[in-house]
């Protein structure tokens, strides 16, 4: 039986590079010179911490980070932008958690989508990944192309292709 895994992984080194280049641009930006801005990557907690003294500067920093993610070929959907900013004294703070792994809801959506394609494959959820098995590799490749063509709001990769 041929199989592959659907996973949602991130490359922490690429994220570190993107944050470092964003910090360098932050120093050189004229409109953010007096904004007391900072960007920090917490590798252990997988959180990008941003601070600025005004809302507009905070949104500019987020735009810089997203552009640096794109230049590093990182999917911007791996950052959770849904959290609101919070005020702390004279600074505005925002934490951007880095999403890694498939949560149960997304995994269920992917499995039901694969079952709806009517391909001769079996999909099962294993922790934070999905294992897809079939008798023929062609069915697996058709499943990959179908999953690539659908948006699940998380970056998906295909791993461990076995025949």
Predicted local distance difference test score (pLDDT) of residue 95: 92
Pairing of strands 121-126, 38-42: unpaired
Domain 2-8+101-162 fold is: Alpha-Beta Plaits (3.30.70)
CATH classification (class only), 12-97: alpha beta
Predicted local distance difference test score (pLDDT) of residue 160: 86
Predicted local distance difference test score (pLDDT) of residue 44: 92
Predicted local distance difference test score (pLDDT) of residue 122: 92
Domain map of the chain by residue range?
Answer: 2-8+101-162, 12-97
Predicted local distance difference test score (pLDDT) of residue 81: 86
List, for the chain, all residue ranges whose pLDDT scores fall below the cut of 50.
none
Predicted local distance difference test score (pLDDT) of residue 57: 87
Instruction: Please determine whether the domains at 2-8+101-162 and 12-97 fall in the same fold group of CATH.
Output: yes
83-122: b or e for each residue (b if 16 or more CB lie within 10 Å)?
eebeeeeebbebbbbbbeebeeebbebbbeebeeeebebe
Predicted local distance difference test score (pLDDT) of residue 132: 93
pLDDT digits (tens, 9 = 90+) for 48-77: 999 988 888 888 999 999 999 999 999 888
Closest of 118, 146, 143 to residue 133, by C-alpha: 143
Predicted local distance difference test score (pLDDT) of residue 64: 92
């Amino acid at each position: 039986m041929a199989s592959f895994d659907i996973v949602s992984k991130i490359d922490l080194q690429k994220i570190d590079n993107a944050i470092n280049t964003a910090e360098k641009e932050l120093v050189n930006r004229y409109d953010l010179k007096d904004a007391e801005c900072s960007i920090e990557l917490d590798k252990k907690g997988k959180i990008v911490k941003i601070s600025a003294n005004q809302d507009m500067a905070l949104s500019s920093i987020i735009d810089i980070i997203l552009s640096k993610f794109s230049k590093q070929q990182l999917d911007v959907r791996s950052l959770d932008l849904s959290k609101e900013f919070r005020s702390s004294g004279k600074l505005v703070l925002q934490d951007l958690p880095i999403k890694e792994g498939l949560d149960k809801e997304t995994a269920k959506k992917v499995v039901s989508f694969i079952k709806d394609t009517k391909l001769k494959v079996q999909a099962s959820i294993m922790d934070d990944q999905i294992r897809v098995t079939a008798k023929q590799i062609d069915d697996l490749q058709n499943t990959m192309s179908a999953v690539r063509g659908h948006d699940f709001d998380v970056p998906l990769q295909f791993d461990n292709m076995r025949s």
